Structure 1
């Protein structure tokens, strides 16, 4: 008798295909995408849950996966003992407790509850169980005995081979088939499961339907999953292989961005469900069958919503988290108001000696402050680091490039690298060098890693690497070549520049038409609130990071540039804004850029704080003195910024700080060459006067915005639907990697192994890891990143922001459901209101 027949007291399993497909889509949408290492970007791990409240999502993860989204209670006790959370914050959090059903605590009972750890001690148990989890429970947590670890390892190993992007020497022969079909084809010859005790594995797989959706439906029916629990069961199954599921979701995301579809995640779900089915059929013993029957009865009794009152421990932790965030908000609001009330500084000149636009990245806040110290008359501007140019940048010798824009966007233009001001022979030389280097590298890698020659390679060439290993260890050389040095030599490197003119690469049109240049120049200047009083030099500064031996290196580059460094966007923007035709077009639109204004493309290295200015040869000689002064200010600012960052990096404030910071960027043993965006907690869109000379310690995204220049509020809408959303993704990735690194992070980076050039494993097996390494949020003694949801402050009318929220449901969900805390600044910073919903703004 099957389990389905035994469960006569439970609702019937789903058999209708439409209902099944709905459940599958819903389960798959709950998986956040994971971008591959070559353009790793921050992603909100709770992206599929923004349609429900933060509190309800905490309940969902506890109920479905037994996973916590909050810090251990001891963390909040320590914050209370240190005075970070005071009674006032606790009272305020309790006053907001009606948002937490079932919470009826007073201050005394809350403090009493916070003094003891939750009853589950280690982690909450999931209400919805998979076959794997029931087996794991029977085995008392022994992964190998229960075969759960074996199942995850086998699926992960297969995914690594199928999705590999060039790391494997021998590619999987069935990759031309679909994912589910390819897996079934290989599973027919795989004896590993049967050797591990999964009887009839190959026979069971062959007997499943060839259609992945039908296979899922067949298994669901055979297991007797109650209709109420099907979606949760599928979500829980995906959570077991959450890393590979996230990569599959990325493939779907990319396809949808281009107007297509991709079923990789559905097929991967079918593989995971089929594996669970073989585990189920391999266990016929009474203990397992009884445990499974009880699990299904339990699942059938699930509530129809996230009843937080059924989990008093969760209610306590949610109030403590709320109090922790309220305490931070009050400190932040107090600082902003006090800064607004300070005596007015000396009036700055109408025409500044330099204007410098930086990415809104929190690391730019430190450098902007340092530059304004080095040159008090300078004006700094905050804007998304792709500078409004969503491009695909194609290096010399390539037919394809990378998307240099936020992952929410699709590149609108293709810009190719060329050798400017060089002869045809020199350009041919560059192309030849690059092709030669790539072919040699590929051949050398094949020789090193092949099954036979790898042994002779070690014997014959091993000792020759001793000097290189020594110099790398001493930081005298790089462990790997910098990506920008792809075959270029010193003779022509100064000539490399972007090609902007329309042309064809294969069948693809590249470059910008003249009218497009004018339109984009106008849009970017208005979005930066930079439409008058231009300086002689205007520096557009992208950013990137110098690091070695770091699989997640692109995660330290610019998220606004799709996980790439931002010099391509900055140089493209500068070239277009320097175009005489564009200048004439802008003047016709009411934006007069003086003839002596020159735009510079530059790159800020966030590890070393060095700023590189590109295309200096094209700068007019009349600006030589201006450029010299700018370089002096940038050098001074770099030293000031390094000094500020040094304390958090554990470097003593002694001579040689500059050299020590730079040395970290070349150290292949360095687990954190920089802290990245750790500590991010606020997003401020306002005129620079609101934050100028205010030390925000590199914790705020700063976007320049002047409502008086945005009559239609089109720029406000852009800010709230793009930069604010991207900032929330970054913030929630850091939040998830802090509160529960095993579930939402990527563990210990010293144990990482790159797989398929796509992601990392922690150790030599297991699931693909998501999120950030523990070393990105913890210094070995304490968490450097605080688990705070993003606090957004925008200097704009509440009616204008209400209009944006009413128009964009996805943005409204972020605010209404507590994923971000939205505030309005008014009265030149002296008044701040908190949004509790459209039309509901209350004074802070």
Structure 2
């Protein structure tokens, strides 16, 4: 075992080595490091589930996390062996994985033999703090089910205090902190707040939260060196609620209706509740945690409980699986014909899409059907970062990757109400944040509730392809107006600039165009296609929208980009920057609804105000092509759905996906990012004729224009956290859905518009539900960049904190030389030349439909030998 796999002293193992004086603030910071960072479900943003160990090499970090959370690190051995028997894991990939263990030849031989042995237990979670720590050992010794007693009380108070519109009776008063609210209920309520109504506990609550924590820990634990571990294990028993409170404490603006709360206050309440139940069950003289016999037999942080132990045979299997899948793309890129030299002719239409893997197939169909269409890919916020407040929005939301802090605010108004009349939305404005009486709430339930129940029953048995009482993304009124031009340089009361100056617009438009290599040969029509998703009865709806837009549909960004790129003043500045957009070129914004496979076109009236000869013909041709592409795209998606018409026509398949998105009992409106695997940053010629099975994030990039890697830094700064975050959340939710994922959707109940829980008093579930990942192959993202290693080295050096993603192998990073297609893998020892088997032939087919016909599993990369269809 090498030192990288078995470190004697690592940063994480020092947690808990504290002096007798308990530093509450410092302890909470350490504890919060392990909590999930998933915010309110309305803003579901994909991220690395194991962000807490991202500073460690991948396999080491996964092993450490397993000892904290009690989760599996890999798939069961039998699953890897089955993939090998089915040909999905190749012998050459096993050889590659064994060679990268660093073992001697004899040790590699012995490890290979172990790969094929029968083993049903090695993938089980190890002893962990969450399941086998001091708190659980003490609870078992007390014979008191403390979690089932304390959690309902704590969760009920948290959910009511933080409620964002479900409850018609607000628990919190204006400006009241959580701790103040608890004290008010415990000391002044006419009805006793059990178990905080006990005399000793009521007196204890008179102190501040910090004193309550110290007092309770002294009575429950006794040994100050164990305080932090006890509190950590207490939070690990419900990481969803703890993580949510921490997020709200740090970013209170994440809530529609703000609440003042801190993790310290939550910990103080829970300790007080625990102490109350213990006193009630065991009396004053109960054994403390620090008095337990054989305490050193329990995993202790101060004894190095988090020192990782990596099961080498499972690690080799996992790396072999990943390399088998990654090599399918690398082989296709290596063998792909080199682009022809000479100046490329101007296309009829250009379409700019988000890099989202679900757009990969739609781009392929557009190019198959109409060879006069060129497609590009970029992060779906299209370089326009801002806060956006739409017609129906109660508050502004960020429309950019989570790593960017926007400084501009864009508001939308209805053209018919711009005279100052307030526009009332159709759903968000109906959310209520003011207190209501209990009687009034009861009357609503008994009258309106019955009607809604009957309507819901009708929708269950007779679903239609229309969303009940909700506009689909493809039905939204596209004739509103975005206030994009800033009229004053004075920021508003929140410190945001209202709109952009022409110089700022040109900077953002030129930045995106240079990023994707579109600086000349503009087509007469450029369509900027954002994406979003619509479905009913789906609390995880935001997880289906655009990750580059912070989990929102990207329509505002597409509209903003098109408006800016069409404006004469912006184009004048662009000409000074060396980008000349012809007067005959027009940009049009659109939105692709990925669940229903429909497209909405925005601001068409602006084209009528500035007519261009022939533009309507190009637009009509694109719309006809797009409609055909959407039907074929739906047909391809249907192969994953068990109840879909597998042998039907594309038209029937399209009808089916629309019905799925509208069905109130459908847990799988779409499989979203399932099986995402690749991210290719380069010219479209690399992938244009490849069938990638909707598994690739595709970002356009012109390597010849980026000798210093500055463009790559901008691209990777968005692609790594967005695509990498999506990939790892799917990976870990698939590896252990019970711990890292949300479990099945079926028992989920929406709690306060904050998240989902099993039932009404469970912990908030983080990660992805099983219905989103059940077909997913859990492999790390392979990022292939069409650029030399010399330029990539310059770019990597400028990535800052994001560099740990590739330095520690949380994503795989490959250089594909733009001239000779030689490929190199980035690793801890530098660039490694990639050697692929010579006997592998990339399968081919004349059309996409012939590749996926009859297939219900993931499909290897194919070459399409003909584009026209």
TM-score interval, smaller chain: 0.7 to 0.9
Q: Secondary structure at the match of 2:691?
A: coil
Matched ranges for 1:444-593 at <5 A: 450-457=441-448, 461=451, 465-466=454-455, 469-470=458-459, 473-475=462-464, 477-482=466-471, 493=477, 495-503=479-487, 507=493, 509-593=497-581
The match for 1:701 is 697
Structure 1, unaligned stretches of length 5 or more?
Answer: 1-10, 779-783
The match for 1:781 is none
**1:686 CA drift (Å):** 1.0
The structure 2 residue matched to 1:29, chosen from 26, 30, 33, is 33
**1:402 CA drift (Å):** 1.7
Contact residue 37 and residue 758 of structure 1 kept, 8 A: yes
**1:696 CA drift (Å):** 0.8
Check 1:121–1:193 CA distance in 2 against 1; reply closer, same or farther (3 A cut): farther
Contact residue 71 and residue 740 of structure 2 kept, 8 A: no
**1:62 CA drift (Å):** 3.1
The structure 1 residue matched to 2:724, chosen from 720, 725, 728, is 728
Check 1:126–1:171 CA distance in 2 against 1; reply closer, same or farther (3 A cut): same
**1:291 CA drift (Å):** 8.6
Cα distance in 1 for partners of 2:91, 2:431 equals: 66
Matched ranges for 1:597-746 at <5 A: 597-619=585-607, 620-622=611-613, 623-650=615-642, 651=644, 652-655=646-649, 656-746=652-742
The alignment status of 1:822 with 2:813, answered yes or no, reads: yes
**1:174 CA drift (Å):** 5.3
Check 1:804–1:257 CA distance in 2 against 1; reply closer, same or farther (3 A cut): farther
Cα distance in 2 for partners of 1:566, 1:35 equals: 20
Contact residue 40 and residue 755 of structure 2 kept, 8 A: yes
Cα distance in 1 for partners of 2:54, 2:441 equals: 47
Check 1:451–1:824 CA distance in 2 against 1; reply closer, same or farther (3 A cut): same
**1:328 CA drift (Å):** 1.9
**1:397 CA drift (Å):** 6.9
Matched ranges for 1:122-271 at <5 A: 124-126=127-129, 129=132, 132-134=135-137, 137=140, 146-173=145-172, 176-187=175-186, 203-204=200-201, 206-207=203-204, 210-224=207-221, 232-252=229-249, 254=251, 264-271=262-269
The match for 1:76 is 80
Check 1:52–1:275 CA distance in 2 against 1; reply closer, same or farther (3 A cut): farther
Q: Secondary structure at the match of 1:702?
A: strand
The alignment status of 1:810 with 2:815, answered yes or no, reads: no
Cα distance in 1 for partners of 2:479, 2:112 equals: 70
Q: Secondary structure at the match of 2:74?
A: coil
**1:733 CA drift (Å):** 0.8
Moved more, 792-801 or 44-53: 792-801
Contact residue 54 and residue 804 of structure 2 kept, 8 A: yes
**1:217 CA drift (Å):** 4.6
Check 1:128–1:233 CA distance in 2 against 1; reply closer, same or farther (3 A cut): farther
Matched ranges for 1:269-284 at <5 A: 269-278=267-276, 283=282
> What RMSD, in angstroms, separates the aligned Cα atoms of the two structures?
3.9
**1:820 CA drift (Å):** 1.1
Structure 2, unaligned stretches of length 5 or more?
Answer: 1-15, 836-869
Contact residue 516 and residue 700 of structure 2 kept, 8 A: yes
Moved more, 635-644 or 499-508: 499-508
The structure 2 residue matched to 1:16, chosen from 21, 43, 46, is 21
Q: With structure 1 as the length reference, what TM-score do the two structures score?
A: 0.85
Q: Secondary structure at the match of 1:97?
A: coil
Q: Secondary structure at the match of 1:742?
A: coil
**1:74 CA drift (Å):** 2.8
**1:105 CA drift (Å):** 7.3
Check 1:346–1:633 CA distance in 2 against 1; reply closer, same or farther (3 A cut): farther
Contact residue 13 and residue 225 of structure 1 kept, 8 A: no
**1:299 CA drift (Å):** 4.0
Cα distance in 1 for partners of 2:58, 2:34 equals: 14
The alignment status of 1:762 with 2:758, answered yes or no, reads: yes
Cα distance in 2 for partners of 1:185, 1:559 equals: 41
The structure 2 residue matched to 1:335, chosen from 332, 336, 355, is 332
The match for 2:294 is 294
**1:471 CA drift (Å):** 8.8
The match for 2:849 is none
Q: Secondary structure at the match of 2:690?
A: coil
**1:512 CA drift (Å):** 1.3
Q: Secondary structure at the match of 2:778?
A: coil
Check 1:158–1:441 CA distance in 2 against 1; reply closer, same or farther (3 A cut): closer
**1:601 CA drift (Å):** 0.7
- Larger helix fraction of residues: 1
Contact residue 392 and residue 429 of structure 2 kept, 8 A: no
Matched ranges for 1:114-125 at <5 A: 114-118=117-121, 124-125=127-128
Cα distance in 2 for partners of 1:99, 1:213 equals: 51
**1:92 CA drift (Å):** 2.8
Q: Secondary structure at the match of 1:520?
A: helix
Check 1:611–1:139 CA distance in 2 against 1; reply closer, same or farther (3 A cut): farther
Moved more, 504-513 or 562-571: 504-513
Moved more, 75-84 or 121-130: 121-130
Cα distance in 2 for partners of 1:225, 1:412 equals: 49
Moved more, 146-155 or 212-221: 212-221
Q: Secondary structure at the match of 2:784?
A: strand
